[in-house]
Structure 1
Amino acid sequence: MGAIFVDCTEELARVIRTRELPVPDTIKINEGNPTEANLVAMCAQADVLLVEHTVVPPAVLDACPSIRAIIFMGTGAGTYVDLHDAAKRGVKVYTTPGYGDRSVAEHAFGLMFSAARRIAEMDRKIRSGIWSPQGGLQLMGQKIAVVGLGGIGACMADLAVGIGMEVAAWNRTPRDHRAFVAELDEALENANVVSLHLSLTPETAELLNARRLLLPAKGFILVNTARAGLVEEAAMFRMLAEGQIGHAALDVFPEEPLPPGSPYLSLKNITLTAHAAYMTDSAYKELWLRTLNAYGKL
């Protein structure tokens, strides 16, 4: 019996090694992206799973009845573990929030700048032999709707204030933040940028539906480093085609990695990154230390 870290990334393994972070003897680290069959094989005798990015379906828990706890290394564990099913089995699911607030906010900020100045588009054109300077949007003075005022959203709001943007930040519960507004529609109204920083729950699924996507200014920038399911996908595609959304800058998708032929790959007014917003050495170090802290309390 013991704990297995089922899907350590190459980057996190490097940080653990180079920064000489502690690894308890009771934790076995597996590097890579395990299949369901791999999970069953490696977890047959485990009582605790550490999971960074791999879905753990009920079938794995069926095959591995010794599992008593799962530590999801991040937030939004429900995307990777069926929380209701786990609870019925008596399997506790823990999360490690807060480790990468600044890293994710900075990535969202970078996506916003890239979209505003069409950086990715120009890069693609230059690499294909086309020299075509493109105009863009100066962000100072523009309105940004920050949707979700947890640690990441608050950091994003503060960064936006720092460059002179007009910030309207909404949260499901009141927050003591100078940019907080109580109504989501008010925050979205005439926004030039909308940045999402919410967990995905039944209450937040498709929170940005067709009606709400019409509230920001025509041609607005949509930034999503949270969860794809927060946005009504069909409405987003339609409004990208019609110009209501001028540009979508996305780090999260309904299916990851994106499959061949995905409509996301053919859109020109879109910037894509590979669910990497949290991936900095500083965030990885904090993630591992918080994971060990959670493990130590089991």
Structure 2
Amino acid sequence: MKAVFLDANPTLAAVAERLRRAGDPELVINRQPDITPDQVPAALGDGEIAIIDHTHLPTGIARQCKALKHVVFLGTGARSYMNPEELGGLGIEVHIIKGYGDTAVAECAFALMWAAAKGLAKMDRGMRAGNWLRTDAVQLTGKTIGLVGFGGIAAEVARLAQGAGMKVLAWNRSPKSHPGVEFVELDALLAQSHVVSLHLLLNDETRGMISAQRIAAMRDGAILINTARGALVDEAAMIAALKSGKLGHAGLDVYEVEPMPAQHPLYELDNVTLSAHSAFRTPEASDNLIQAALNHCRRVSGQGTQQ
């Protein structure tokens, strides 16, 4: 079978070339990371496997890709870019990759929490503008962090938070247990947590889950961290809460629209710390991600994953 990496940035292209081995399915690497959906059929050609990082694949476009049988999506959020059920109806199977960047994303969430608590981004901006800007900070030791959704990333955040002397609460849609973590109802988590960190997949159930009502139920001055998906949060309600002081700070790596448009209201707020959907971007996570993608290609081609 032939695989085409449709939207490889330079980093992931180099990793794919390094991790390929003799006997692998044919792999064509398209080094055009900003490919548009209408360019996909030509770029894919007779490829039966499409490896996709961040390109949208509407069902109508996929229908034009006559040879396509498998999509390997580089992450877990395929629904943000395609409709897996509709593609399945066309005979195209969508494969996702879990766990490749759990530690990387958890460390980013942890870093955003600390930057938010200490006001580091605001002080940095002020000092670069020539102002000796000193701010009061939040001491996180002894505080409570609430993890909304509890998979591999949240488990890593829990490990880091416990090491920092924080109490860890969690809510998950299905029952779970984890050492040192107290699982509670979502309303209780929101009311008790000084920091709320989101770790949910985006689907019809979770879209807009952190609504105006749920933000209102949070502790006054709480810190909101989102390294999952921007659409989990009612963005307008979050901005209003940041402006009013209901939310003390937000540390965000993901947004409703990416890249975030110019003149976005979040740019005007001092009590936000922003990163450009880069939580997973470490060499270790990139290797894990591409190795898993190549293993999917080997498996669907009948070549297994043995070294």
Please say whether Structure 1 and Structure 2 have the same fold, judged by a TM-score greater than 0.5.
yes
Q: Would you say the 8 A contact 1:174–1:182 is kept in 2? A: no
Q: What SS does structure 2 have at the residue aligned with 1:254?
A: coil
8 A contact 1:174–1:180 mirrored in 2: no
1:119-159 Cα offsets, whole Å, 9 max, x none, are: 11111111111111112111101111111110001111111
Q: Following the alignment from structure 2 to structure 1, what is the Cα–Cα distance between the partners of residues 227 and 6?
A: 24
Q: Distance in 2 between matches of 1:241 and 1:87?
A: 44
Deviation for aligned residue 1:216: 2.4
2:106 is equivalent to residue 105 of structure 1: yes
Query: Is the aligned partner of 1:21 residue 2:19?
Result: yes
**Contact map agreement 2:169 2:184 (CA 8 A) in 1:** no
Q: Secondary structure at the match of 2:137?
A: coil
Give the Cα separation in 1 of the matches to 2:289 and 2:12: 9
1:290 equivalent in structure 2:
292
Residue 209 of structure 1 pairs with residue 211 of structure 2: yes
| Number of the residue aligned with 2:39 | 38
- Total equivalences in the alignment: 296
2:144 and 2:166 in contact (8 A); partners too: yes
- Would you say the 8 A contact 1:190–1:215 is kept in 2? no
The alpha carbon displacement at 1:25 in A equals 5.3
Query: 2:93 is aligned with what amino acid?
Result: K
Q: Deviations over 1:206-236 (max 9, x none)?
A: 1111221122221111000000111112211
Corresponding residue of 1:69: 70
SS at match of 1:229: helix
Q: C-alpha separation between the residues in 1 aligned to 2:14 and 2:28? A: 16
RMSD: 1.5
For normalisation by structure 2, the TM-score amounts to 0.92
Secondary structure of the equivalent of 2:6?
strand
Structure-2 separation of matches of 1:72 and 1:33: 16
Tell me the residue number matched to 2:60.
59
Structure 1: distance between partners of 2:239 and 2:103? 29
Q: Which amino acid aligns with 1:7?
A: D
1:4: which partner in 2?
4
Q: Secondary structure at the match of 1:248?
A: strand
Displacement of 1:164 in angstroms is 0.5
Letter in 2 for 1:55: H
- Tell me which residue corresponds to 2:163: 162
Q: Do 1:44 and 1:63's aligned partners in 2 also have CA atoms closer than 8 Å?
A: no
> Cα offset for 1:16?
4.4
Alpha-carbon contact 2:37-2:55 (below 8 Å) kept: no
Q: Name which of structure 1's ranges 36-45 and 64-73 shifts more when overlaid on structure 2.
A: 36-45
Distance 1:56 1:122 in 2: 41
Structure 2 unpaired stretches of 5+: 301-307
Return the match for 1:196 from 179, 195, 198. Answer: 198
